[in-house]
Structure 1
Amino acid sequence: MSNCEIIAVHGGACAKFDASLAEDCRFACGTGTVENALTDLERIEKFNCGFGSHLTIDQEVECEASYMSSKNLSFGAVGAISNVFHPSRVARHLAHSNWWKQRRLLHPLILVGRGAEKYAVKNDFPTCTPEELVSKAAKESFEKYLHRMLHPYDTHDTVGAISINTNTMNSESGTSSGGIVLKHSGRLGHSCVYGSGTWSERRQYEEPFDQVSERTISICSTGHGESLVKADFCRGIATRVLDDEEGIMYSEIIREFIHEKMEHGSRYGGIALIADKFKDRMSLEFLIFHNCRYLPAAVRCRDNQIRVFESQFDPDQCTTDPKCVIESFIM
């Protein structure tokens, strides 16, 4: 990967600390692209995506994934898909496919169920039997929560990856998820919803003396899907960041959004990369924010060094409103 491509990965909202998750995020960062990073996580049983996805109430795997690019706001997502090893690759392919445009047909943003599976087969993505996606850990988690259906879940959540090219100022973002354990069959989470699971956008601004500045954001989320959908989470945060002309700290923009839009008691988290460019000057900021116990993440910086973040949060020790942690790092 060239040093102009900055990539960050998170391992999903977690209720318990596990240092190995952050190391897996470090490895995924080294693969070079959002697609490759998500593909790596989909192979690792401990993450809730691909192989290792949570089981539905009917003891089946239904994966979902999304991809977005700042180029033309291209977006693709698949949901309730049960026979594909890497749903994130299918989502990216859907976002960039010209098949419909060439035939003057409406290009779908989301494919689900049998339609998504047929699309994957048609485009030669590796497929499997649904049973091949069921891991031992997923079975154990199903049995555990089947008898605790009214208790809070302490499992892993949606994983995500984001990137910004500091030369072109283009950005990409993606998610992959098995959804929440014991979900109803056919349920779609925030990953599949335009604006909720991911957002990547580049904007130019007119400055005095005919100068132009640019700002790019890439963001992805994890947590309780229904609450994230209602908040239009990623697009809502991105819009406020891109609209800001007063120089408000990005962490404060995110905090205000969470305070206004997120339902009380919902679990959420996310990571964001934000680049500002004017002439030859470039500033790059990485943010990690959540109200879960642990959110593992890693970033590959402009010097090609990978930084690991083991962001932890104790709600009992938090005195802010809303109760969450927001950390910001200059890259």
Structure 2
Amino acid sequence: MSRTRNKSETTELIAVHGGACAKYDASLAEDCRFACGTGSVESALTDLERIEKFNCGFGSHLTIDQEVECEASYMSSRNMSFGAVGAISNVFHPSRVARHIAENPWWKQRRLLHPLILVGRGAEKYAQKNDFPICSPEELISNAAKDSYEKYLHKMLHPYDTHDTVGAVSINTNTMEAESGTSSGGIVLKHSGRLGHSCVYGSGTWSERRQYVEPFEEFSERTISICSTGHGESLVKADFCREIAKRVLDDEEGILYSEIIREFLREKMEPGARFGAIALIADKFKERMSLEFLIFHNCRYLPAAVRGRDNQIRVFESKFDPDSCTDDKFLIESFRM
């Protein structure tokens, strides 16, 4: 695969992460760098879905029945649109299908209820009807996934000591609109039919823009775009991405965003639950804008990359030792963009 991208003049800030990892692998961060150059959340996730090192698309973990069941989600701050697919086994790029569900006007035009999530055969039929590339389930099974299946089946190691859900977030600095998305093969040896946090509204991803009234009839804006990875059931219980976004957007006291997230993690995350996330936050008042990128997790390694306003891509190889004697059993890193 070529690693060359033409530089874009877009105002789109984009960040990509490669999923919570148990082991360090520098190549994962470089793949995130490559995906950041694609220009959109959808195209970034599509890139990662082609690379078997990542737990999404081709390379997804196998279920206990040695099958592939992918899931993906997409959200936009425009009209708070959301779409997700789960337990889908015959589509090369489930992230593209999720975005299509979120933005397809078919139901509205017919005065029907617009679904948020399609699963299993229904999701597969939808993908085929809308001309997405279809494959046999076997075409999504990589050699690495087979090896991982055998390893964990025979040794019965902890199922979360592998790669996890990947994600991407973006904010347009002109419109202050945001997009976010995830793609995942789920946990290794998961039960067939299990849906992870990617499919749950508010847990795997969240993008929201809010406007505030200032003195003298002035207005300010704040946008957050966030996506998560890790132990899906715990992320669902915590309403992870939506609750963090709400706390950030509700803040009127100028509290550091890292401290807002720290308080949430202390209050809401179950002991022992593995999690990770990246977030972009933009604040705008008149011509002034501040941009912040945050990466936070309690896994050993979370590879990520960000393309900023200067069109330069920065790679982040965020590492954490779960056995370290810190007050918080997690890491939060914050960077001004």
The TM-score with structure 1 as length reference comes to: 0.99
- Conserved 8 A contact 1:3-1:303: no
Please tell me whether residue 327 in structure 1 is matched to residue 333 in structure 2: yes
Please tell me whether residue 83 in structure 1 is matched to residue 90 in structure 2: yes
- What is the RMSD computed on CA atoms of the aligned residues? 0.8
Matching residue of 1:231: 238
SS at match of 1:147: helix
What is the alpha-carbon distance in structure 2 between the residues aligned to residue 66 and residue 257 of structure 1?
A: 23
Match 1:101 to one of 108, 112, 129: 108
Matching residue of 1:169: 176
SS at match of 1:310: strand
What percentage of aligned pairs have identical amino acids? Answer: 86
- Conserved 8 A contact 2:159-2:189: no
- Conserved 8 A contact 1:318-1:324: no
Q: Which amino acid aligns with 1:282?
A: M
Match 1:268 to one of 240, 262, 275: 275
Q: Judge which range, 22-31 or 311-320, deviates more.
A: 311-320
Cα distance change on mapping 1:56 and 1:94 into 2, 3 Å = same
What is the alpha-carbon distance in structure 2 between the residues aligned to residue 151 and residue 119 of structure 1?
A: 35
What is the alpha-carbon distance in structure 2 between the residues aligned to residue 126 and residue 180 of structure 1?
A: 24
Task: Provide structure 2 residue ranges, at least 5 long, that are not aligned to the other structure.
Answer: 1-7
CA drift at 1:150? 5.6
What is the alpha-carbon distance in structure 2 between the residues aligned to residue 111 and residue 240 of structure 1?
A: 29
Please tell me whether residue 65 in structure 1 is matched to residue 72 in structure 2: yes
SS at match of 2:118: strand
CA drift at 1:148? 3.0
SS at match of 1:248: coil
Q: Judge which range, 181-190 or 139-148, deviates more.
A: 139-148
- Conserved 8 A contact 1:3-1:301: no
Matching residue of 2:99: 92
Please tell me whether residue 52 in structure 1 is matched to residue 59 in structure 2: yes
What is the alpha-carbon distance in structure 2 between the residues aligned to residue 207 and residue 115 of structure 1?
A: 47
Match 2:18 to one of 4, 11, 20: 11
Matching residue of 1:159: 166
Match 2:46 to one of 35, 39, 51: 39
Matching residue of 1:130: 137
- Conserved 8 A contact 1:223-1:268: yes
Q: Which amino acid aligns with 1:325?
A: L
CA drift at 1:116? 0.2
SS at match of 2:155: coil
CA drift at 1:318? 3.8
Alignment of 1:19-38 (within 5 A): 19-38=26-45
Question: Alpha-carbon deviations, 1:236-274, whole Å to 9, x = none?
Answer: 000000000010000011111011000000000000000
Task: Provide structure 1 residue ranges, at least 5 long, that are not aligned to the other structure.
Answer: none
Match 1:312 to one of 319, 331, 334: 319
Q: Which amino acid aligns with 1:167?
A: N
- Conserved 8 A contact 1:11-1:25: yes
Aligned residues: 330
What is the alpha-carbon distance in structure 1 between the residues aligned to residue 160 and residue 284 of structure 2?
A: 42
CA drift at 1:10? 0.1
CA drift at 1:315? 2.0
The TM-score with structure 2 as length reference comes to: 0.97
